[in-house]
Each structure stands twice: as C-alpha cells, then as structure tokens.
Amino acid sequence: MPQRPRIRSWVSLGLAALAGLSCLALGAWAQPEEELPKPSEQQSLTLSAAVQWALAHNPQLATFRRNRGVAEAAVQIAKQYPFNPIVQDFVWYGNGPPAAGVTNHVFEEHTMRTDLELMHQGRYRRGIARNALSRTEWEIAAQELLVSVQVTRAFNNVLYRRAKYRVLEEGAQFTQQIADNVKHLYEQGTLKSADLLLAQADVVEARNLLGPARSLLVVAENDLRRALGMIEESLAVDGTLEKGFVAPPASALVQVSMERRPDLHALEFAVREANERVRFEVANRWGNPSLGPAFEFNETSVYFTGAWLIWSPPVFNTRKGEIRQRQAELARAVQALRQGEVQVRQDVFAGLSRLVQAEHVVNEFRDIALPKLRQTREELDKLYEAGQPGVDLARVIDVRRRLLRARDSYLDVLLELSQAQTDLAAAVSDLSFAGCRTKPQTPDSTPPSDQRPSEPAGEELPPPSPAPEKK
C-alpha cells in the first residue's frame, strides 16, 4: 500500500515527460519549410534567384500546374471505370377471373446484369489516361522552361535599361561640364555668346533624354515583376550583361536538345495517347454486352430462372467513321512530333548562329573599338594639356562624345548577345547557357576588377590647355 503514491508519482512524471517530448516533436514537425526570402528582404536579386522565385511564385505557372491534378483524376477514373451492376425489381399485383387461373396475386420479376468489356477496352482506357498524365507533366515542364526564359529575358532587359540610363546620366553630366567650360571661356572673351547658347541647348537636350530612359527602365522592371509574380515588392537586380560563352558543336547541341526538350517529350506521349485511342475505338465498336441472372414468379405461381443478355453487335454500324477519325488524330500527332523535331534543330542552329554573330560583334567592341577610342582620348588629352597647335577643346569634346556613343552601342550588342544566349538556352532546355560564366580574357585585355564597360571611364574634360607663349 505505501508504494502506490510512489508509483503514481513516477507514472505522472513519465506522462509529463512524454507530453513534453510530444510537444517538441509536434513543434519540429509543424515548422514551415524554408522559403525563398522576399525581394524586399534581399539586398540584391541574381538571375538564378529570380528564376527560382518565378518557379515558386508565378501565378500563371501555378495555374498551369493544376492540370496535373486533372490528369491524375482521369487516371483514377480509368481504373474505376468498370460498370456498376444494374438491378431491376418488378412487383405487381395480379387479379382476374377464376378462368384466368390466378393463384398468385403478387407478380415478381428480378433481374441483375452488368456490362462486360470483352475486347480489353479497360486496358486501352487506362493507357490513354496514363499517357495523358505523362504528356501533362512534360507540358508543365515546358511551361516552367518558358517562364524561366521569360524571366531571363526580362532580367537582362532590366540590366540593359539600367546601364543605358547610366550612360545617359554620364552624358548629361559631361554636357553640363562642357557648358560650364564654355561659360568660363565666354566670360574670358575666348568664345562668343552663340557658343554658350549652343552648349546650354545641348544640356537641355541631354536632360530631356533621361525622362524616356527612366520610363523604359520602369517598364522593364514591371515586366520583370510580372514574370516573377510580384506586385509591389522592392526589386533590386544584381548582374551584368558581360558574359561570354564558347558554344559546343552543333551536332552535340542537337543531340542534347532532343534528349532534354520537354515539349518534344510531350509530343511523344501525345503520339502514344493517340495510338491508344485508335486501339480503344477499334475494340469499342463491339460494344459492351450486358449479362446477368433473372428470376420471375408469375401469377400462376410458376417460377422462371435464367439470364439476360443485351448486346448491340456491329452489323450495320461498324464505327468506321470514328475509327478513321482516331487514325487521323494519330497521323496528326505523328506529324506534330516530326514538326517538333525539325523545329528543335532549327532552334538550335538559329540560336547558335545568332550567338556566334553577336559574340563576334561584342568582341570587336570589347577588343578593338573601345580600347582604341580610350587610347585616342588619352593621347588627345596629352596633346591638349601640352598646348599642341590644332588640338582645341572642340576636338577633345568630340572624342569623348564618340566614346559615349560607342559605349551606348556596346550595350546594344551586349543585349543582343544575352538574347542569343537565352535563345540557345531555350533551344537546348538548359538555363546554364543563359547564365554563362564569364569568358576568360588575356591579361592585356582584362579590365580592372572595379571597372565595367558600362561604368564611367574618364569622359571628364581635362584641365584647360595653357596658352602658347609668343616668340
């Protein structure tokens, strides 16, 4: 008896410990899965992070993924398709004159039958549903690739518009600097008032270009938000259009694209689905005979037992039209598959040729045009500072404007290169082609790590040239 309180205390302590462990387990189980941080919490959004965010939050993609549930339900319906039995019960009250011989006033008739599939229609029906489900899954993968490509294009467009706006800002600052120098020279009597008015007009024109450029940047950011599935979240992109890529041979790219393109796999399963539909239609022309037992107890107290058979044999209507229609659908699916294979090859060769051409133009700007203009600017600055005859401020300004225009055009060709890389990534179904690693450069052509082609590169005017001494 004295041990009972001790046993109860130990039991209470054990239950309390068990409850505590259960709470801890439930708390650990109830912890939400890790999600991508919101852009408002991010300092910057890289291309890979943007693609991941779009795959998780794009509403159009989320809606398209619901097709998989519909296809899965179709598979379940196909598995459960066997017909339910049909039960018919007739109970009548019978009465009549004695000459009719009515000995049973309750007439009963009971039948039960079920439809049978003798030509394996259920197997073909399940094959249709399974192939439709596989086709839907590949179509979802193709839609995910499409969304990723759209995000990549929108992301690169934001980088492009931001860099263009930066160049225009530098041009406006440079134009203001020119106007200040012209005003200083005008006050010294070196230049005329017409030169000052022209310089001030150039400042107004340069500032007027900032508004449309800013609007285009806002539009590009909104397009990226739409592709990402954002509404009002803050958006800060981090990346550069400076990307190089050495493309593999076209034959290797075609082979990879044939193996990885989700839309091509979707067409393959569409062919299988159409083939199963043809086989189902051929088998289904025989119909489904309805067979089952029957029992009858008539008014003369006679029992009848037997079976019911209801069947519509294909005598007059052999469903040639339906079969021909399914065969035409199969031929169309096969032709669509061949078209897809041709289109895949066309996409690979078109993307590769566009990439080669764009990279050639980019290399010309990067290795020849921009270095040459920078060298010309530096040499002209030295001549201007040394007071070389014939080297006036107008020539110094002109070479800097040429360099700004060259940098602006360089951004255009960089955008073309990024679009070509994205085309090739879509053709091969590999996003690493769109986010390529930076192309290795030789030590002579490697720019400083803290300087990008879209950043200021010394377009400021040099100090005024000293007046040459008179002899």
Task: Write the single-letter amino acid at 467.
Answer: A
The whole-number pLDDT of residue 219 equals: 93
Residue among 419, 371, 334, 402 nearest 154 (CA): 419
Consecutive 10-residue averages of pLDDT for the chain (471 residues): 44 42 37 43 76 92 95 93 86 83 88 88 94 96 94 94 93 88 82 84 89 93 92 83 76 90 96 96 89 90 90 88 95 97 94 90 92 90 82 83 92 93 91 58 37 50 55 41
The answer to whether position 17 is within a domain reads no
User: So what's the pLDDT on residue 119?
Assistant: 87
Please tell me the predicted confidence (pLDDT) of residue 177. Answer: 86
Within 10 Å of residue 375's Cβ, how many Cβ atoms? Answer: 10
Please state the pTM of the whole predicted model: 0.77
Q: What is the pLDDT of residue 465?
A: 56
> For residue 10, what pLDDT is reported?
43
The domain that holds 255 is classified in CATH as 1.20.1600.10
Q: State the pLDDT at residue 451.
A: 39
Q: Which residue is associated with the tokens 């990723």?
A: 148
Residue 129 is assigned to a structural domain of this protein: yes
Q: Is residue 36 part of a domain?
A: no
Q: In this predicted structure, what is the pLDDT of residue 433?
A: 79
**Does some domain include residue 464?**
no
C-alpha distances in Å from residue 44, one per residue of 146, 168, 328, 432: 24, 23, 53, 20
Give the span between the Cα atoms of 373 and 43, in whole angstroms.
36
Residue 471 lies in a domain: no
Q: What is the pLDDT of residue 320?
A: 92
State both tokens at 184. Answer: 């200083």
Give the side-chain half-sphere CA count within 13 A for 196. 12
Residue 337 within a domain = yes
* Residue appearing with tokens 């900032």: 210
Beta-carbon contacts of residue 215 (< 8 Å; ≥ 6 apart): none
The answer to whether position 30 is within a domain reads no
The total domain count for the chain is 1
The DSSP 8-state label assigned to residue 366 in this structure reads: I
Question: Cα separation of 128 and 267, whole Å?
Answer: 14
Distances in whole angstroms, Cα of residue 304 to Cα of each of 108, 276, 296, 298, 330? 10, 44, 5, 8, 50
> Would you say residue 305 lies in a domain?
yes
CA 86 vs. chain centroid, Å, equals 50
Unique residue bearing structure tokens 């965010």: 53
Which residue stretches of 229-319 are H helix?
250-260, 262-284
Domain limits at 326? Answer: 48-433
